[in-house]
Structure 1
Amino acid sequence: MAVLYKAYSSPPVRCVMMVADILNIKYESQEINPLLREQDSPEMTKKNPMRTIPTWEEDNFVLGDSHAIILYLFDKYAKPEHYYLYPKDKQIRAKVNLRLFFDCGVLFPRLRSVMAPTYMGRLTEMSNSMRKNIDDSYRVLEAYLSDTVYLADDVITLADISVVSTLATLNGLRPIDRFPKLKRWYDKMCEEDFVKRINMPGAQEHIEGLLTLMEMNKSKLKSHI
């Protein structure tokens, strides 16, 4: 049976969990604590040299990065009733890919720019530049929603699942309320059963953890003044 190395609060992990749920894939879960850097162990580094989570292991095949994992899971496990997630139409598929690359290359790194210094004990609140960069990514998503109901098509695709996992945490730190199309899309995604069951509890855990750590960092810095 396949194994998913994960931490439930991680947005990329939640993305893989949602896609696996839709595709009815059975797997074992192996918890990894990123705060303790358990992904840096020699065993995990050999499996995934990027030392990130999630990591997917199946039949002596190991894959890191949520975007690569969900594309692999679709290619291997999708049945005809799932084809809407990654349509065969080349132009729609290209749009899905673009949104996935945006999540990987822009949206999640802007969340990570908040996460990393928070976990390292340095960040007490988001800086103006962090807020500006996050808002800029929201503007791009707002534009993507100008012509379609969802990010790449008028039905949910892998792009929506990937982005909603990241956005669920970001929205708790920097609300999307000033972006009406994005807010409408997000609310619609949150009505989906797999988002309610899998994404939102993990996102809430992630948000609360980050905000708590920021307050702890603030207290530590005050005590050293």
Structure 2
Amino acid sequence: MSPTIYKNNVSPPARAVMMVAEILGIKYNSFEINPLLREQDTPDMIKKNPMRTIPFMDDNGYCLGDSHAIMLYLFDKYGKPEHSYLYPMDKRKRATINQRLFFDCGVLFPRLRSVMAPTYGGKLTEISRSMKINIEDGYRMLEAYLSDTLYLADNVITLADFSVITTMSTLHGIHPIDSNKYPKLMKWFSNVSEQEICKKINKTGAEEHVASLKKFMETNKLNQNKKSKI
């Protein structure tokens, strides 16, 4: 039986999993979750994924959360020799890819989440100075990672690039990359964004995510202005 991926196309991590699944030719069952309606908080969903995040996967009773873990699992189970460039056998290359995945999970995405949570919670009206500083710091690290290779972990695209591009697509939309300060990062962003798989799966969802955040910020500002006049 095919695995089921619980997702939402606007979610950056979900799009990363969707792109990898598409490349690997996996026919999966898709189950749409709306996180704003807390559809991931039902008892059945919490049992499958205690983190209550999307995406998560149910592969015939084997449940797994976190997009990075899911991507690695799918590669290990469904990857063929022609997919080896995504996660090569060389131990150092794999270690570098792992580090970039952990960077996305532990450093970069939390900086996006720090914007998302108060925005969707009705509190944030614009990105704060401290948020911008943290995002810029993420850009600085990515620029350094790209000092010796065309892509984040190698001179060919890997799982790390597909993971990070989804986070970066939203970050760039709300706080654009300065190509003068981060020329390598801007070149990488353009190159990965032009991949057919990114145009097919990542582009629309990223645009919707950016538009949603900006719209919520506008609404939050209007609501706060109304309250201040009462």
The TM-score with structure 1 as length reference comes to: 0.99
SS state at 1:29 partner: strand
Give the SS at the match of 2:155: coil
Partner of 2:139: 138
- Equivalents in 1 of 2:221, 2:43: separation in Å? 34
Aligned to 1:96: 97
Pair 1:42-2:43 in alignment: yes
Deviation at 1:2, TM superposition (A): 1.2
Q: What residue identity is the alignment partner of 1:218?
A: K
Partner of 2:173: 172
- Deviation track 1:28-81 (CA, whole Å, cap 9, x = no partner) reads 111111001111111100000000000111111110000000000000000000
Q: CA deviation at 1:91?
A: 0.8
**1:16-165 residue pairs with structure 2 within 5 A?**
16-165=17-166
Match of 1:198 in 2: 201
Cα displacement (A) at 1:128? 0.2
Mapped to 2, the partners of 1:7 and 1:218 lie a distance apart of: 26
Question: Could you say which residue in structure 2 is the equivalent of 1:185?
Answer: 188
Give, in whole Å, the separation in 2 of the partners of 1:173 and 1:36: 23
Aligned partners of 2:26, 2:166: CA distance in 1, in Å?
19
Deviation, 1:217, is 0.1
Using the aligned pairs only, state the percent identity. 63
| Alignment TM-score, normalising by the size of structure 2 | 0.97
Read off the aligned partner of 1:224 and give its amino acid letter. K
| Deviation string, structure 1 residues 4-40 (Cα, Å, up to 9, x no partner) | 1111100000000000000000011111110011111
Instruction: Give the distance between the partners of 2:194 and 2:51, measured in 1 at CA.
Output: 34
- For structure 1, which runs of at least 5 residues remain unmatched after alignment? none
Unaligned runs of 5+ in 2: none
Residue 176 of structure 1, CA deviation: 0.9
4+ runs deviating over 4 angstroms: none
What amino acid is the match of 2:192?
M
Letter in structure 2 aligned against 1:19:
V
Matched residue pairs, number? 225
C-alpha deviation, 1:89, in angstroms: 0.7
